[in-house]
């Protein structure tokens, strides 16, 4: 008699969690291009390929937005340092003294 952790052939809890997380992320970040049943029944190699392509896309998008934000902040710093004068906003008015 063998003393196995599992008494049947199935997915381990860790693998199930990873599988369902991957399916969720493909469906969620696929923005309506995939549904749960299609991804669940998809061949493993194709599901992994799809997951990695989505991951690459969102990493590039995130890096690009960070680069754009950095360039904008550098541009704003250069503009602020070249003026050397501080102008009050136009909406500030002096309160009347009564």
- Its pTM stands at 0.60
CB contact at 8 A, 26 and 54: yes
Encoded tokens for 95? 């309160």
CB burial of 60-73 (b: ≥16 within 10 Å; e: otherwise) equals: eeeeeeeeeeeeee
Q: Which two tokens stand for residue 71?
A: 């360039």
CA distance 60 to 52: 12
Which tens digit of pLDDT belongs to each residue from 52-77? 999 999 999 988 888 888 888 777 77
The answer to whether residues 22 and 51 touch, using CB atoms and an 8 Å cutoff, is yes
pLDDT by residue for the chain (98 residues), tens only, comes to 555 565 567 778 888 899 999 999 999 999 888 999 999 999 999 999 999 999 999 999 988 888 888 888 777 776 655 656 666 667 766 666 66
The residue count of the chain comes to: 98
CB 30 within 8 A of CB 54: yes
């Amino acid at each position: 008699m063998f003393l196995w952790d599992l008494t049947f052939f199935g997915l381990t809890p860790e693998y199930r969690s990873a599988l369902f997380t991957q399916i969720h992320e493909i469906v969620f970040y696929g923005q309506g291009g995939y549904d749960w049943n299609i991804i669940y029944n998809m061949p493993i190699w194709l599901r992994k390929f799809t997951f990695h392509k989505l991951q690459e896309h969102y990493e590039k998008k995130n890096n690009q937005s960070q680069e754009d934000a950095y360039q904008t902040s550098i541009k704003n710093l250069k503009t602020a340092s070249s003026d050397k004068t501080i102008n009050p906003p136009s909406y500030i008015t002096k309160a009347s003294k009564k």
